Amino acid sequence: MLREIRSSLGLFTFLSILTGVGYPLFVTIVGQSFFPYQANGSIVKEGDKIIGSELIGQNFSSDRYFHSRPSASVIGYDASSSGGSNLGPSSNKMIDAVIVRVKELRNADETRPIPVDLVTSSGSGLDPDISVASAHFQAVRIAKARGLPLQQVEKMVLLKTTHRTFGFLGEKRINVLAINRALDLLSSPPITPLTIP
């Protein structure tokens, strides 16, 4: 019996060191050596100033910017409280939230069909991307606010579209921070660094 306990404790200690120290250390070394940008959160900087991450949505409220998907987080786009709302399509709370979001878009003189991802949050509540339909939906507002030709904003949407991974996984999408940075470069004078209203 004591031999079995010693064997069990030995195996437990070995696996604890392997999976609790060895594996995380190996992954950290590989990540920092070969993928430092991704391993450190895909942080986007303007000079020395951090303006966001390619992986986490942000609250862009100005008419000059593409807006992200709504956040499910109580604190806004806070990565420390990531998670879905867990509200299903029959939830009155979710229906009420969607109705409010639709009204806000309608108040902005939008009469076209509203893409669903502009009024619902993602599974993480922090999605950094929007659908191509959502980008086209917002292009008119942005062109007007920035005094740019609509065709120029639409061209930017096409340029910033990320296609399906391996040609079949996921959907076409646009990173909101990336396209908003590109829009600021089109502005005259350019807004640097990107300001998040």
pLDDT, tens only, 15-24: 999 999 999 9
**Core vs surface per residue 111-150: b (16+ CB within 10 A) or e:** eeebbebbbbbbebbbbbbbbbbbbbbbbbbbbeebebee
pTM to 2 decimal places: 0.75
89 in the same domain as 11? no
Do the domain assignments include residue 191? no
Cα–Cα dist 177/61, whole Å = 13
52 in the same domain as 36? no
pLDDT, tens only, 109-138: 667 889 988 888 877 778 899 999 999 999
Domain housing 101: 42-186
For the chain, how many structural domains are there in total?
2
pLDDT, tens only, 29-53: 999 999 998 888 888 888 888 888 8
